[in-house]
Structure 1
Amino acid sequence: MGLPGKPPKPERSGIYPALAAVVVPSIEGMARLRITGHEHIPATGAFVLSPNHYSEIDPLVMAVAIWRSGRVPRFMAKASLWKVPIVGRILTAAGQIPVERAGRSSHGEPMAAARQVVADELGVIIYPEGSLTRDPDLWPMRGKTGAVRMALEAGVPLIPAAHWGTQHLMPRYGKGIRPFPRKTIDIRFGPPVDLSAFAGKRDQASMAAATDVVMARIAGLLGELRGEEPPAERWDPTQRGQTETGRFDG
């Protein structure tokens, strides 16, 4: 199935064409991306995208998939990256959203920044797990509520996504990329998650239930890519003494 072409011209302004000229061929030189379901990415207007997460290189792979699907990727990212020379300037120019350990940023409260992205009719990628999955078999673990809160508050579609194969390019917690031989990475976008049952609700129980629905959809997409049935219960680091600090917790 062919891809829909370049993102809308207004979204390709500024630094994005230069970044795409470097990042897209670099990733595609190391991995063949097989993208399905790109028709579920809105051609225009705001949306929240929620993918699974198990490798540090996931955001670059997902960024290329979003670009190839006709939109510009914008992520919530660790604020510490803004302290890296040159990298911080690039992230700022690209409109990425810094997030501090406590969930706040010196650049402004992260959810407020994400709301502005939505108000500008752009897309924002929020990893609902908040960090790399702790599941031993790389299935999505228990999610956090930031993505569904954003989608419900803004009244925009929440698109689930899954990928499989990035662990061969960079293993979970790996520090180096393994570009040879060229890998194959499968990426699948699903139709928007129906969150209508949670409209107008903001209590923690409702948001947790809505997040469970989203995580089930992400796990289902991943199961399709892997040809396996996802586990009935998701790994819960809060129950197993396995938490990770320094990440956005929704």
Structure 2
Amino acid sequence: MSEIVYPPVIMAARGLFKALDLKFRLEGAERIPRTGGAVLVSNHVSYLDFIFAGLAAHPSGRLVRFMAKKEIFDHRIGGPLMRGMHHIPVDRDAGAASFKAALTALKSGEIVGVFAEATISRSFTVKDIKNGAVRMAVAGKVPLIPITLWGPQRMWTKGHPRKLLQRRVPIAITVGEPMYPKRGDDYDKATRDLRAQMSELLEKAQRGYPELPKPGQEWWQPAYLGGSAPTPEEAAALDLKELEARKSTRGDG
């Protein structure tokens, strides 16, 4: 597979991270296989997560093909970049085609990145997830690898202004123990186990984060740690309201 676009994008991102003096803490990178397919499942706290989740695979010399909503591929700037990096478009009205494309990538030895929560978590906890990632790993006969991110929400997340040039932000990237679901397993139980491991990894990163919010900046801290982010229940209500507004704008029934 030709890699004309991905390496320069990585170099540009690393140059920017260095200029901003971002403080990375990467744990568990050795759990990313150096060869063969895998499904990398990340939590979702910001619009920049695919960049930081991809960094987890760099020590193993791997590139991650992320599944992302089709609208990004339709963007006049983002689209060519996404296609050039061989990411996988997800059309929610044609999910079978997206699944097939991801499975083809897995069987050819690629790592496929999935944000199983589908949308950014406003509560900064792990939302309920569906069993698609588990089914994908089973169909591809590859490991399922959980990963969590903490810190990127301070730079750009839903409902808050972009601060892409913010300096010295600590970014925690944690790779969990691989899971090996197989055909015949209870996929819903495996999904619950996946979410539990992701929640545990995320809470550990949040509690061990080297900074606390300054006065007036408590929005980026989850409610259970005293922050002013919505609770999971409040976040779910906000998501539902947003979804209903989107349907109304499109004229859906």
TM-score with structure 2 length normalisation?
A: 0.77
Which residue of structure 2 lines up, in the alignment, with residue 71 of structure 1? Answer: 62
Residue 158 (str. 1) matches residue 144 (str. 2): yes
SS state of the match for residue 126, structure 1? strand
1:54 deviation in Å?
A: 1.4
- Write the letter of the residue equivalent to 1:131: T
1:185-231 deviations in Å (ceiling 9; x for gaps): 111101102435xx324xxxx32222111000101111221228xx8
Give the Cα–Cα distance (whole angstroms) in 1 for the partners of residues 35 and 237 of structure 2: 41
Check whether the contact 1:50–1:127 (CA below 8 A) recurs between aligned residues: yes
Which residue of structure 2 lines up, in the alignment, with residue 129 of structure 1? Answer: 117
- Count of residue pairs the alignment pairs up: 222
Q: Structure 1: which 5+ runs fail to align?
A: 1-9
Check whether the contact 1:33–1:184 (CA below 8 A) recurs between aligned residues: yes
Residue 177 of structure 2 is aligned with which of 184, 188, 191?
A: 191
Residue 92 of structure 1 is aligned with which of 77, 83, 92?
A: 83
1:83 deviation in Å?
A: 1.7
Aligned positions of 1:1-250 closer than 5 A = 13-30=3-20, 31-104=22-95, 109-134=97-122, 136=123, 138-196=124-182, 199-201=183-185, 206-227=186-207, 235=232, 240=237, 242-243=239-240, 245=243
Identity of aligned residues (%): 28
Give the Cα–Cα distance (whole angstroms) in 2 for the partners of residues 175 and 79 of structure 1: 24
Higher RCO (C-alpha under 8 Å, 6+ residues apart): 1
Check whether the contact 1:142–1:235 (CA below 8 A) recurs between aligned residues: no
1:152-173 deviations in Å (ceiling 9; x for gaps): 1111000011121112222443
Which residue of structure 2 lines up, in the alignment, with residue 6 of structure 1? Answer: none
1:146 deviation in Å?
A: 1.2
Give the Cα–Cα distance (whole angstroms) in 2 for the partners of residues 156 and 169 of structure 1: 33
1:87 deviation in Å?
A: 2.2
Give the Cα–Cα distance (whole angstroms) in 1 for the partners of residues 101 and 11 of structure 2: 26
1:40 deviation in Å?
A: 0.4
Return the structure number with greater helix share.
Answer: 2
SS state of the match for residue 109, structure 1? helix
Residues 208 and 240 of structure 1: CA distance in aligned 2, closer, same or farther (over 3 Å)? farther
Give the Cα–Cα distance (whole angstroms) in 2 for the partners of residues 87 and 239 of structure 1: 29
1:55 deviation in Å?
A: 1.0
Larger Rg: 2
TM-score with structure 1 length normalisation?
A: 0.78
Check whether the contact 1:37–1:188 (CA below 8 A) recurs between aligned residues: yes
Check whether the contact 1:76–1:96 (CA below 8 A) recurs between aligned residues: yes
Residues 111 and 28 of structure 1: CA distance in aligned 2, closer, same or farther (over 3 Å)? farther
- Write the letter of the residue equivalent to 2:105: V
- Write the letter of the residue equivalent to 1:117: A
SS state of the match for residue 186, structure 1? strand
Residues 29 and 73 of structure 1: CA distance in aligned 2, closer, same or farther (over 3 Å)? farther
Give the Cα–Cα distance (whole angstroms) in 2 for the partners of residues 209 and 238 of structure 1: 24
1:175 deviation in Å?
A: 4.5
